[in-house]
Amino acid sequence: GNSVTQMEGPVTLSEEAFLTINCTYTATGYPSLFWYVQYPGEGLQLLLKATKADDKGSNKGFEATYRKETTSFHLEKGSVQVSDSAVYFCALSEEDMRFGAGTRLTVKP
């Protein structure tokens, strides 16, 4: 069945550091791919998405490219801020939605 494998955390970075959170997937068809973010005490929010191969999703300085050849959708940000501290979930959607384990990011001033 479909599944998502996500880089485990926690990840701790200093402000303005470069961020990469790896995500790879297994799917039988052609899923849409997502990154969701969960800030402390809040529900999930969609961060970005890509619906087909080579699409790049971007939002708030974050970006991820749908790579079919490597079945990956790695999340990147060039310069993180303290306010980016949260848990990030990679997910795929075909007939239903499957989530990665989540990666906790802590950004220190």
- Rounded to whole angstroms, the Cα distance separating 37 from 1 reads 24
Query: Between 60 and 78, whose beta carbon lies closer to another protein?
Result: 60
SS3 letters for 39-62? Answer: CCCCCEEEEEEECCCCCEEEECCE
Nearer to another protein, 46 or 82 (CB): 46
User: Which residues on neighbouring strands pair with residue 48, listed in sequence order?
Assistant: 35
Looking at residues 25 to 54 of the shown chain, list those that interact with another protein (rule: CB under 8 A): 32, 34, 36, 42-46, 49, 51
Residue 97, class by beta-carbon neighbours within 10 Å (0-12 exposed, 13-18 middle, 19+ buried)? middle
Q: Which is nearer to another protein, 25 or 34 (CB)?
A: 34
Part in contact with another protein (CB under 8 A); list of ranges 17-25, 57-65, 77-85, 87-95: 87-95
Contact positions vs another protein (CB under 8 A): 32, 34, 36, 42-46, 49, 51, 89, 93-102, 104
